[in-house]
């Protein structure tokens, strides 16, 4: 079944859950799954749980951790 994670098309098995899609996404990117799983949102911006079941055409977005900017004032 075809879904999209962060604008990347992925193929997952029927009945896959959000956590399966996240694993697949990181594997396709060649990255390790983070120890702390980031917040995942659906195509409408709602938070989704890791055990949520996916449907054909589901769209997910993994929130990227914002980097802290160091500002120096002299």
Q: What pLDDT does residue 65 have?
A: 67
Q: Which residues, other chains included, contact 45 with Cβ-Cβ below 8 Å and sequence gap of 6+?
A: none
Asked, for residue 67, whether it belongs to a domain, the answer is: no
Containing structural domain, residue 12: 2-62
User: Domain holding 19: CATH number?
Assistant: 3.10.20
Share of residues in the chain with pLDDT > 70 (%):
86
Q: Count of residues for the chain?
A: 74
Residues 19-54 pLDDT 10s: 999 999 999 999 998 888 889 999 999 999 999 999
Q: How far apart are CA 41 and CA 61, in angstroms?
A: 5
Q: What is the pTM of this model?
A: 0.82
Asked, for residue 13, whether it belongs to a domain, the answer is: yes
Asked, for residue 54, whether it belongs to a domain, the answer is: yes
């Amino acid at each position: 079944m075809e879904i999209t994670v962060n604008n990347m098309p992925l193929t997952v098995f029927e009945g896959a859950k959000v956590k399966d899609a996240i694993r697949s996404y990181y594997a396709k990117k060649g990255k390790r799954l983070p120890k702390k799983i980031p917040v995942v949102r659906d195509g409408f911006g709602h938070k989704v749980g890791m055990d949520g079941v996916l449907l054909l055409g589901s769209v997910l977005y993994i929130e990227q951790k914002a980097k802290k900017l160091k500002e120096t004032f002299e």
